[in-house]
Amino acid sequence: MPTDTIAINNVVALGRDGEIAIVTIDSPPVNALSADVRDGLAGAFAAIGSNAGVKAVVLVCAGRTFIAGADISEFGKAPRGASLHAVMDNMEGGRVPVVAAIHGTALGGGLEVALTCHYRVSDAKAKFGLPEVKLGLLPGAGGTQRLPRIVGAKKALEMVTSGAQMGAKDALASGLVDAIVDGDLTAGAVAFARQVVAEGRPLKRVRDDNSRLGGDAASLAPVFAAFRAANARAFKGFDAPEANIKCIEAAVALPFEDGMKVERAEFIKLMGGLQSTAQRHVFFAERQAAKIDGLDPKAELLPVKSVGIIGAGTMGGGIAMNFLSVGIPVTIVETKQDALDRGVATIRRNYENSAKKGRFSMEEVEARMARLTPTLALEDLGQADLIIEAVFENMDIKKQIFGRLDTIAKPGAILASNTSYLNVDEIAASTSRPESVVGMHFFSPANVMRLLEVVRGAKTAPNVLATAMATGKAIGKIGVVSGVCHGFIGNRMLGARQEQANKLILEGARPADVDRVLTEFGFPMGPFQMADLAGLDIGWSADTSKGVTVRDRLCEAGLRGQKNSHGFYDYDEARNRTPSPVAEKIILDYAAEKGINRREIDDAEILERCLYPMVNEGAKILAEGMAQRASDIDIVWINGYGWPVYRGGPMFWAEHDAGRARIAASLERMGMAVSPKLVEGW
Ligand code: 3H9
Q: Which residues contact 352 (CB under 8 A, 6 or more apart)?
A: 362, 365
> What's residue 40's pLDDT?
98
Ligand 1 atom nearest to CA at 290: 48
Q: How remote is the CA of residue 345 from the centroid of ligand 1, in Å?
A: 40
- CB 67 near ligand 1, within 6 Å: no
Are residues 377 and 514 located together in one domain of the fold? no
Cα(155)–Cα(160) distance, rounded to whole angstroms?
A: 9
Type of residue found at 174: S
Are residues 482 and 513 located together in one domain of the fold? no
Provide the 3-class DSSP secondary structure of residue 445: coil
Catalytic site residues? 112, 132
Q: Is the pLDDT of residue 539 over 90?
A: no
- CB 108 near ligand 1, within 6 Å: yes
Is residue 72 within 8 A of residue 135, CB to CB? The reply is: yes
- CB 107 near ligand 1, within 6 Å: yes
Q: What's the first-to-final CA gap in the chain, in angstroms?
A: 53
Q: Is the pLDDT of residue 208 over 90?
A: yes
Q: What angle do CA 351, 353, 359 make, to 5 degrees?
A: 75
Are residues 466 and 522 located together in one domain of the fold? no
Residue range 308-326, pLDDT digits in tens:
999 999 999 999 999 999 9
The mean pLDDT value for 301-310 works out to 97
Q: How remote is the CA of residue 115 from the centroid of ligand 1, in Å?
A: 19
The mean pLDDT value for 182-194 works out to 97
Q: Which residues contact 8 (CB under 8 A, 6 or more apart)?
A: 14, 40, 43, 44, 47
Is residue 147 within 8 A of residue 105, CB to CB? The reply is: no
Residue 280 resides in a domain: no
DSSP secondary structure, 77-97, as one string:
S---SS-HHHHHHHHHTSSS-
Cα(115)–Cα(660) distance, rounded to whole angstroms?
A: 44
Residue 67 resides in a domain: yes
Residue 78 resides in a domain: yes
Residue 300 resides in a domain: no
End position of a domain, from candidates 422, 453, 488: 488
Distance of CA 516 to the CA centre of its chain: 25
Are residues 213 and 110 located together in one domain of the fold? yes
Type of residue found at 104: G
End position of a domain, from candidates 593, 608, 639: 593
Are residues 431 and 571 located together in one domain of the fold? no
**Nearest residue to 99 via CA among 231, 220, 206, 193:** 193
Alpha helix positions (H), 475-597? 490-507, 511-521, 527-534, 550-556, 581-593
**Nearest residue to 438 via CA among 450, 419, 448:** 419
Confidence of residue 297 (pLDDT cuts 50, 70, 90): confident
How does the average pLDDT of the chain come out, rounded?
96
Q: How remote is the CA of residue 80 from the centroid of ligand 1, in Å?
A: 19
Q: Which residues contact 172 (CB under 8 A, 6 or more apart)?
A: 178, 179, 180
Is residue 591 within 8 A of residue 603, CB to CB? The reply is: no
Cα(422)–Cα(418) distance, rounded to whole angstroms?
A: 9
Confidence of residue 23 (pLDDT cuts 50, 70, 90): very high
Are residues 477 and 555 located together in one domain of the fold? no
The mean pLDDT value for 261-280 works out to 97
The mean pLDDT value for 402-417 works out to 98
Residue range 332-368, pLDDT digits in tens:
999 999 999 999 999 999 999 999 999 999 999 999 9
Domain count, the chain: 3
Provide the 3-class DSSP secondary structure of residue 409: coil
Provide the 3-class DSSP secondary structure of residue 407: helix
**Nearest residue to 392 via CA among 350, 349, 421:** 421
Confidence of residue 521 (pLDDT cuts 50, 70, 90): very high
End position of a domain, from candidates 268, 293, 327: 268
> What's residue 639's pLDDT?
98
Q: Which residues contact 591 (CB under 8 A, 6 or more apart)?
A: 506, 507, 598
Type of residue found at 19: E
> What's residue 579's pLDDT?
98
Beta bridge partners of 479: 452
Q: Is the pLDDT of residue 204 over 70?
A: yes
**Nearest residue to 609 via CA among 488, 513, 490:** 513
Ligand 1 atom 19 nearest Cα? 69
- CB 140 near ligand 1, within 6 Å: yes
Are residues 198 and 54 located together in one domain of the fold? yes
Q: Which residues contact 230 (CB under 8 A, 6 or more apart)?
A: none
The mean pLDDT value for 16-34 works out to 97
Are residues 477 and 520 located together in one domain of the fold? no
Q: Which residues contact 543 (CB under 8 A, 6 or more apart)?
A: none
Ligand 1 atom nearest to CA at 283: 18
State the sign of the Cα–Cα–Cα–Cα dihedral 214, 220, 225, 226: negative
Q: How remote is the CA of residue 75 from the centroid of ligand 1, in Å?
A: 13
What is the CATH number for 449? 3.40.50.720
**Nearest residue to 448 via CA among 417, 471, 481, 476:** 476
What is the CATH number for 516? 1.10.1040.10
Alpha helix positions (H), 362-510? 362-370, 395-408, 424-428, 462-474, 490-507
The mean pLDDT value for 596-608 works out to 97
Ligand 1 atom 44 nearest Cα? 30
Residue range 567-576, pLDDT digits in tens:
999 999 999 9
Q: How remote is the CA of residue 108 from the centroid of ligand 1, in Å?
A: 10
The mean pLDDT value for 493-514 works out to 97
The mean pLDDT value for 97-119 works out to 98
The mean pLDDT value for 93-113 works out to 97
Ligand 1 atom 43 nearest Cα? 68
- Count the alpha carbons within 13 Å of 69 in the hemisphere toward its beta carbon: 22
Residue 118 resides in a domain: yes
Residue 274 resides in a domain: no
Cα(246)–Cα(244) distance, rounded to whole angstroms?
A: 5
Cα(186)–Cα(61) distance, rounded to whole angstroms?
A: 9
Are residues 571 and 449 located together in one domain of the fold? no
Residue 173 resides in a domain: yes
Read off the pTM.
Answer: 0.94
Cα(514)–Cα(535) distance, rounded to whole angstroms?
A: 18
> What's residue 299's pLDDT?
77
Type of residue found at 90: N
In the sheet that 127-129 helps form, which strands lie side by side, from edge to edge?
A: 105-107, 127-129, 166-167
Q: How remote is the CA of residue 329 from the centroid of ligand 1, in Å?
A: 33
DSSP secondary structure, 609-633, as one string:
HHHHHHHHHHHHHHHTTSBS-HHHH
> What's residue 294's pLDDT?
83
- CB 131 near ligand 1, within 6 Å: yes
Ligand 1 atom nearest to CA at 69: 2
The mean pLDDT value for 119-126 works out to 98
Q: Is the pLDDT of residue 1 over 60?
A: no
Q: How remote is the CA of residue 188 from the centroid of ligand 1, in Å?
A: 27
> What's residue 238's pLDDT?
98
Type of residue found at 656: H
Is residue 91 within 8 A of residue 51, CB to CB? The reply is: no
Q: Is the pLDDT of residue 491 over 70?
A: yes
Confidence of residue 2 (pLDDT cuts 50, 70, 90): low
Cα(59)–Cα(617) distance, rounded to whole angstroms?
A: 51
pLDDT over 70, % of the chain: 100
Q: Is the pLDDT of residue 219 over 70?
A: yes
Cα(173)–Cα(212) distance, rounded to whole angstroms?
A: 13
Is residue 417 within 8 A of residue 399, CB to CB? The reply is: no
Are residues 204 and 133 located together in one domain of the fold? yes
Provide the 3-class DSSP secondary structure of residue 479: strand
Is residue 110 within 8 A of residue 90, CB to CB? The reply is: no
- CB 139 near ligand 1, within 6 Å: yes
DSSP annotation of 2 reads -
Pairing status of strand 56-61 against strand 12-17 = unpaired
Beta bridge partners of 12: 25
- CB 475 near ligand 1, within 6 Å: no
- CB 30 near ligand 1, within 6 Å: yes
Cα(532)–Cα(561) distance, rounded to whole angstroms?
A: 4
For residue 378, give its domain range: 307-488
- CB 648 near ligand 1, within 6 Å: no
What is the CATH number for 199? 3.90.226.10
> What's residue 296's pLDDT?
78
Residue 658 resides in a domain: no
* 72, 138, 146, 263, best to mutate for ligand 1 pocket (most atoms within 8 Å of CB): 72
The region of weakest confidence among 535-544, 549-558, 630-639, 668-677 is 535-544
* 11, 25, 30, best to mutate for ligand 1 pocket (most atoms within 8 Å of CB): 30
Q: What b/e string do you get for 223-253 counting C-beta neighbours within 10 Å, with b at 16 or more? A: bbeebeeebeeebeebbbbebbbbbbbbbbb
Q: How remote is the CA of residue 69 from the centroid of ligand 1, in Å?
A: 7
Residue range 169-179, pLDDT digits in tens:
999 999 999 99
Are residues 483 and 513 located together in one domain of the fold? no
Are residues 455 and 569 located together in one domain of the fold? no
